[in-house]
């Protein structure tokens, strides 16, 4: 099968992967390797294992029913619907600012300090908003798939080059690491929070599934699941590679990542040039920037899509009509009211995020750790809601979690809950 044919078959699962392979992988996984060597590899694997079923429910539910998870939350009850919206409002500015500040820092590293970090952030947000409003999401989505392919290939090459030059493990004497130390626990929480990404992204994924316009049913759900599994596998592979590169090139050398966003971006790109040679600096500077830009783009579309769909559901309820979820591109709202809501929420998101960035430009790690920690604590809530939706009346019994998979799902939910409770108690009582 030709590569172009394979790429054409891939869809929202790769968009989901592009959303994931940003801060959590390029930043947090690399930091994990640089600061802890291979000690946190198990936590990366654990995060992918325990979050898997709750991410899977997004495309599967949308494929089966033709409805988004947000519709499903509404069917669970008004409290679930409005709880999700409240949590979304509380976190969306920090999430958007977290991915945008890294993108802006990489832009500054690539193009030079002709603009300040906050000005680069404003430019990035302006371009993202303009593209979304013009409706060129499909064009960028196609570009995004190819950029993910380039990122995977270059990352694998860098991994082999680093191993060939430095061996499988760091050659220096490893420093003593205490995973029970306060700083270690705090970082582990931040790492898991966005590894592979926040569970609420499953709602966006369900909306992206609907944008394809396929007929709901078992076949559609099967295709959506296969597409998602490919994206999930790519996410896990790259998370391991980035941790490995951080461990080989920075662990035990006394060169932790800087707090400054600009210096942080420079260190990030230098990992590749160190492994591959100076010739690769420009290539990897471009690739990492585009990878983070795609994440910024997807996040900037995801949150407004939630508010747009929430408006449509409330309008549907008020008029007693049966409004079907949008079957058009998420980035090109058709309904007048929904379009206005999308526009306003996008503008508010961009302005609020930029304001946060102006306060955190000197300490990028503090912002990222805060955002990812919030996602860690709230993960059990989103996970339980997704499970509740899949067990609802909209899903036929044969497609609901059952048998060993149901036990696995409930075990994962229990682990996420225990992690969250432990961290809250540790912060409160410790």
Q: What is the pLDDT of residue 375?
A: 84
Tell me what the mean pLDDT of segment 17-21 comes to.
Answer: 81
Instruction: Please give the radius of gyration of the chain, using alpha carbons only, rounded to the nearest integer.
Output: 21
pLDDT, residue 136, reads 54
Tokens representing 75 are 């069917």
- Cβ-defined contacts of 271-280 (< 8 Å, 24+): 271/30, 271/158, 271/245, 271/246, 272/154, 272/158, 272/245, 274/162, 274/249, 275/158, 275/159, 275/161, 275/162, 275/165, 275/245, 275/248, 275/249, 276/157, 276/158, 276/161, 277/161, 280/154, 280/158
Neighbour-count burial of 277, counting CB atoms closer than 10 A to its CB (0-12 exposed, 13-18 middle, 19+ buried):
exposed
Average pLDDT, integer, range 356-364: 73
Q: Report which DSSP code applies to 172.
A: S
Alpha helices of 135-217 — where are they, by DSSP H?
Answer: 137-166, 182-193, 201-210
> What are the φ and ψ backbone dihedral angles of 258, each rounded to 5 degrees?
-75, 160
pLDDT of residue 73: 95
| 236: enclosing H helix or E strand | helix 218-250
Asked whether residue 34 carries a pLDDT value surpassing 60, the answer given is yes
Q: What percent of the chain has pLDDT over 90?
A: 38
CATH topology classification for 3-429: Amino acid/polyamine transporter I (1.20.1740)
Confidence of residue 77 (pLDDT cuts 50, 70, 90): very high
Helix (H, G, I), strand (E, B) or coil at 156: helix
How confident is the model over 114-141, as a mean pLDDT? Answer: 84
The pLDDT of residue 311 is 93
Q: Examine the pLDDT at 56 and tell me if it is beyond 50.
A: yes
Write the DSSP string, 246-277: HHHHHTTTT-PPPSSHHHHHHHHHHHHHHHH-
User: Is 60 exceeded by the pLDDT of residue 334?
Assistant: no
Domain boundaries, the chain: 3-429
DSSP 376-408: HHHHHHHHHHHHHHHTSTTS-GGGS--HHHHHH
Residues 6 or more apart from 65 whose CB is under 8 A from it? 71, 72, 216, 394, 395
Residues 303 and 248: their CA atoms lie apart, in Å, by 37
Share of the chain above pLDDT 70, in %: 85
CB–CB of 158/26 below 8 Å? no
Say what the pTM is: 0.87
For residues 315 and 71, which has the higher predicted lDDT (pLDDT)?
A: 71
Residue 232 has pLDDT above 90, yes or no: yes
Inform me whether the pLDDT recorded for 5 exceeds 60: no
Q: What is the mean pLDDT of residues 198-219?
A: 88
Mean pLDDT value across the chain: 84
- The 10s digit of each residue's pLDDT in 145-178 is 777 777 788 888 888 888 888 788 776 665 666 7
Cis peptide bond N-terminal to 185, omega within 30: no
Report the largest interatomic distance among the alpha carbons of the chain, rounded to a whole angstrom. 69
Mean pLDDT value across residues 112-132? 91
Give the whole-angstrom CA distance, residue 200 versus residue 302. Answer: 10
pLDDT attached to residue 333: 40
Burial code (b: 16+ CB inside 10 Å, e: under 16) for 182-202 equals eebbebbbbbbbbbbbbbbbb
């Amino acid at each position: 099968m030709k590569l172009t044919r394979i790429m054409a078959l891939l869809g929202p699962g790769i968009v989901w992967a592009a959303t994931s392979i940003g801060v959590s992988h390029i930043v947090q996984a690399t930091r994990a390797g640089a600061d802890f060597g291979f000690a946190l590899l198990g936590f990366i694997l654990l995060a992918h294992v325990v979050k898997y079923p709750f991410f899977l429910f997004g495309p599967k539910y949308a494929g089966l029913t033709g409805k988004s998870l947000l519709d499903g939350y509404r069917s669970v009850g008004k409290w679930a619907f409005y709880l999700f919206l409240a949590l979304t409002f509380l976190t969306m500015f920090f999430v958007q600012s977290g991915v945008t500040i890294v993108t802006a820092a990489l832009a500054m590293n690539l193009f030079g300090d002709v603009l300040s970090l906050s000005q680069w952030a404003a430019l990035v947000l302006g371009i993202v908003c303009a593209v979304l409003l013009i409706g060129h999401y499909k064009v960028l989505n196609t570009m995004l798939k190819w950029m993910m392919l380039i990122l995977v290939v270059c990352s694998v090459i860098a991994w082999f080059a680093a191993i060939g030059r430095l061996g499988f493990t760091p050659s220096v004497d490893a420093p003593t690491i205490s995973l029970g130390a306060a700083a270690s626990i705090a970082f582990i929480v931040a790492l898991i929070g966005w590894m592979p990404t926040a569970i609420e992204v499953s709602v966006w994924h369900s909306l992206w599934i609907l944008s394809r316009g396929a007929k709901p049913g078992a076949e559609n759900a099967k295709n959506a699941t296969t597409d998602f599994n490919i994206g999930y596998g790519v996410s896990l592979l790259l998370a391991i590679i980035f941790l490995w590169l951080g461990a080989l090139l920075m662990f035990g050398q006394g060169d932790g990542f800087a707090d400054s966003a600009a210096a942080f971006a420079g260190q990030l790109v230098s990992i590749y040039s160190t492994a591959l040679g100076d010739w690769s600096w420009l290539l990897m500077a471009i690739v990492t920037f585009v990878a983070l830009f795609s994440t910024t783009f997807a996040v900037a579309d995801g949150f407004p899509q939630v508010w747009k769909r929430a408006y449509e559901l409330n309008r549907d309820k008020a008029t007693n009509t049966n409004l079907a979820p949008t079957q058009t591109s998420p980035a090109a709202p058709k309904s007048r009211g929904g379009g206005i809501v999308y526009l306003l929420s996008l503008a508010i998101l961009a302005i609020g995020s930029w304001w946060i960035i102006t306060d955190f430009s000197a300490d990028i790690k503090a912002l990222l750790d805060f955002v990812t920690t919030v996602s860690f604590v709230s993960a059990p809530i989103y996970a339980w809601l997704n499970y509740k939706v899949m067990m609802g009346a909209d899903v036929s019994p044969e497609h609901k979690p059952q048998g060993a998979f149901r036990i696995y799902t409930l075990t994962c939910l229990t682990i996420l809950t225990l992690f969250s409770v432990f961290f809250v108690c540790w912060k409160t009582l410790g």
